[in-house]
Amino acid sequence: MTKYKILIFGLPRVGLTILLGVEVYTVFAIYTIGYSLTPFLVGLALGIGYFCTAIFSFLFGWISDKKYTKLGRRKPFIFVSSPLYALSFIFLLMPSLILPDLNDKQLLFIWLLVWESIFRISLSATTPYQAWLAEQFEITERPKASQVQSIFNLLGTLILWIFNFLIITDVLDQLETSVNIIPYSFSLPLIIFAIITLTLLYLNVFLMPTEPYFEIKSNLGKILKTSLKNKDFMIVSFMLGISSIAWSIIAAQLLPYFDQVLQYSPFEYFISLLIVFAALVIFLDIWKRIIKKYGRKRAITYVFYLAIIVLPCTLINLFPLNSYFVINIIILTGIGASLAGWFLIPAVIYADLAQGDQEKTGELKAGTYTGLPLIFLNLFQAFGVFILGLINELPYINVGSKFYSIGLLLWGPICSAILGVSLIFIWKYVQISADQ
């Protein structure tokens, strides 16, 4: 039963990863390169979207803790939010379905801002889904459940990269010619992705066990007060928040980095895709084993070490070389391995913190402890994509025959420095009770 439940629980991550991945990895490139909206405005809209996630993730998590229905606490939110999530995804990526002229940049910015906000709010309503990690699995089962989720994350990531490889780069070229075109090769996969995500989330609604009833007497004020007094929780949230500035920049900048700096041939892009995906799969298992043997804190420290070393290597593209292919494969592999750790470890830590709070208060506030950290994460991520917009507004330079913003190289060392600050914070302050 546990294996079946872990499998069902992990499945929606395929669709959620594809939709969120297209938004995170592709929207910035589509709107800046394809629709010629300024990086500052796109970064601003994305930042406001992150702010919406920060507010509503906690709100929906808390409401789902407090309100018990015939379907349980979590399922009503998943049932209602999933269609809106899928629909907003389609409108966000295909504004020309409704807008008559995408050359009107003011109207296009408003469209981006509105649908990005709706997309992020509906995403926030899936917070109760993630709360099941603490609620339906024992502490010894959580690394395995998180690993299965991460494997489905990777499957979604592979589909996302294939989509980017086969379609997005070509679509960007077409949009630069005419912004009002919607190629079927672009629109049809987006609609299929939305349907898959809706279906897998509904499978969880119908097949996952309903969590048992337990009463939570604490009101919102008391819950916030208790959570904010939880020293371990606040320290971990602040540390992960600082580091999420870097991770949000990395995620959004990869596609422009591929498109404008690397300018790989289709074969080179495909080989890069396979190697990085293999690194993600391998390192998911490596990080899980490190967690089991050495604990959560040491595992996340190693993740940061790897990223800090690899990221500044983006500057190598400034220097004349016969080929950048091998060195960039090393860079991208290191980034992929680091992202695997970022996918896996934080969810496990927060589930452990929720259980620790239950032992102290007698109440399992899984939704709150899933949603509340997202306030910190998304506020910092909002700042991250705002910085991303500013970085990409930096002056253009000539590198050989290529011409692009210097920001497309500086993002690596900037993110490395941010993660270095987080690492110092881990050394000095972070203590994780599950490691003790």
In a domain, 4, yes or no: no
Instruction: Give yes or no for residue 127 having a pLDDT over 80.
Output: no
Closest CA to 180 of 102, 289, 249: 102
Distance CA 245, CA 419 (A): 9
- Res 59: pLDDT: 78
- 8 Å CB contact between 93 and 111: no
Distance CA 328, CA 323 (A): 10
Question: 10 Å Cβ neighbour count for 135?
Answer: 24
Higher pLDDT, 263 or 310: 310
Instruction: Give yes or no for residue 308 having a pLDDT over 90.
Output: yes
Angle between helices 142-163 and 12-21 (to 10 degrees): 50
In a domain, 1, yes or no: no
- Res 72: pLDDT: 76
Instruction: Give yes or no for residue 309 having a pLDDT over 90.
Output: yes
Number of domains in the chain: 1
- Res 111: pLDDT: 94
In a domain, 156, yes or no: yes
- Res 353: pLDDT: 65
- Res 113: pLDDT: 94
In a domain, 202, yes or no: yes
pLDDT tens digits for 329-338?
888 888 888 8
Give the residue numbers spanning the domain of 409: 11-435
pLDDT tens digits for 21-52?
888 778 888 888 888 888 889 888 988 988 88
In a domain, 6, yes or no: no
- Res 58: pLDDT: 74
In a domain, 314, yes or no: yes
- 8 Å CB contact between 195 and 86: yes
CATH of the domain at 273: 1.20.1250.20
Confidence band of 90 (pLDDT split at 50, 70, 90): very high
Q: How far is CA 71 from CA 79, 130, 207, 210, in A?
A: 10, 16, 11, 7
Closest CA to 206 of 330, 105, 82: 82
Distance CA 90, CA 120 (A): 13
DSSP codes, 401-421 = TEEEETHHHHHHHHHHHHHHH
Q: Across residues 123-133, what is the average pLDDT?
A: 75
In a domain, 305, yes or no: yes
pLDDT tens digits for 59-87?
777 777 777 777 777 788 888 888 999 99
Distance CA 38, CA 288 (A): 41
User: Worst-scoring range by mean pLDDT, 193-197, 225-229, 243-247?
Assistant: 225-229
Query: For the chain, what is the mean pLDDT?
Result: 81
Distance CA 243, CA 342 (A): 10
Instruction: Give yes or no for residue 325 having a pLDDT over 60.
Output: yes
> Full-prediction pTM beyond 0.75?
no
Instruction: Give yes or no for residue 355 having a pLDDT over 70.
Output: no
Distance CA 198, CA 177 (A): 33
In a domain, 3, yes or no: no
Instruction: Give yes or no for residue 232 having a pLDDT over 90.
Output: no
Confidence band of 194 (pLDDT split at 50, 70, 90): very high
